[in-house]
Amino acid sequence: MHIGIFATPDDAADEAAKIIIDAHTRPGFVLGVATGSTPLPLYTRLRKAHADGKSDLSGAQAFALDEYVGIAADHPERYRNVLLTELVKDGGTGLTDEALHTPNALTGDPYKAAEEYDASIREAGGVDIQILGIGADGHIGFNEPGGSLTSRTNVGALTEQTRRDNARFFDDDIDKVPTQCVTQGLGTIMEARQLVLLATGAAKADAVRELVEGGISARWPATIMQMHTNAIVLVDEPAAAKLELADYYKAQWKALHQA
């Protein structure tokens, strides 16, 4: 893994935007997109770059990591709606509504939806760059502790901690947070050609320490990223505060970026 430690969340978002803008001109580019608060500054940058004529995702496809099961179609926190707002609406990043793929978790059989979603990622040729956040409990996507490290897209239950963390999007009422989701599995996520994980703030310091320096374990699902050949972890100082080898990662980042 390649660790970038930045003074502020904005600096980390600048770096993530640069990685995507430099890569996305490949025909048929496929971007994996994440929800949550952390990637929002990145999406702001992608919209600005589009408005300035420096980036255009109109030829790209995007696949969301996950979706709540049973949320109302028009709920603003339905991840499809969040991503339409962030990436598509009013010109957004250039990405079109039809090119934004999210698990169809509203109706019918979520298990079938999960299987179909996995197949649709494969049919698109796989994800080129997967943007990731990380939960305080070490989840990526909604892959909570204790699951398979090689899972495919599947139906999962959210932990109490995740539902508490996400209550801020649901009138601070944990009872309004859905209990189930369809999520890309860890095996699915690991097939992306590049992973770019963003983590900011002190609340992520334990998860970042485990991700970078812990043993690979289903207790901290994100640790599977240590097995990826092209994974970049972009963090701010508070999120990096518990990294034992922070000075080394900084020196390594500097050396590689001056080369």
Active site residues: 66, 137, 139, 144
Kindly tell me which of 94 and 212 has the beta carbon lying closer to ligand PGA.
Answer: 212
Kindly tell me which of 35 and 93 has the beta carbon lying closer to ligand PGA.
Answer: 35
Among left, alpha and beta (phi > 0; psi -120 to 50; other), residue 167 is: alpha
Sign (positive/negative) of CA torsion 142, 225, 116, 89? Answer: positive
Q: How far is the CB of 40 from ligand PGA (least distance, A)?
A: 8
Residues of this chain that interact with ligand PGA (CB under 6 A) are 36-38, 133-135
100 φ/ψ angles, rounded to the nearest 5 degrees: -95, 115
Q: How far is the CB of 258 from ligand PGA (least distance, A)?
A: 30
Alpha-carbon distances, residue 52 vs 48, 55, 56, 94 (angstroms)? 6, 8, 10, 12
Q: How far is the CB of 216 from ligand PGA (least distance, A)?
A: 19
Quick check: 198 and 38 in contact, CB under 8 A? yes
Quick check: 94 and 56 in contact, CB under 8 A? yes
Kindly tell me which of 79 and 117 has the beta carbon lying closer to ligand PGA.
Answer: 79
Chain residue at closest Cβ approach to ligand PGA: 36
Q: How far is the CB of 36 from ligand PGA (least distance, A)?
A: 3
Kindly tell me which of 32 and 135 has the beta carbon lying closer to ligand PGA.
Answer: 135
Spatial distance between the Cα atoms of 14 and 256, rounded to a whole number of angstroms: 17
- DSSP state, 84? I
Q: Which residues contact 204 (CB under 8 A, 6 or more apart)?
A: 134, 136, 235, 238, 239
| Rg, the chain, Cα only | 17
Kindly tell me which of 37 and 120 has the beta carbon lying closer to ligand PGA.
Answer: 37
Q: How far is the CB of 226 from ligand PGA (least distance, A)?
A: 18
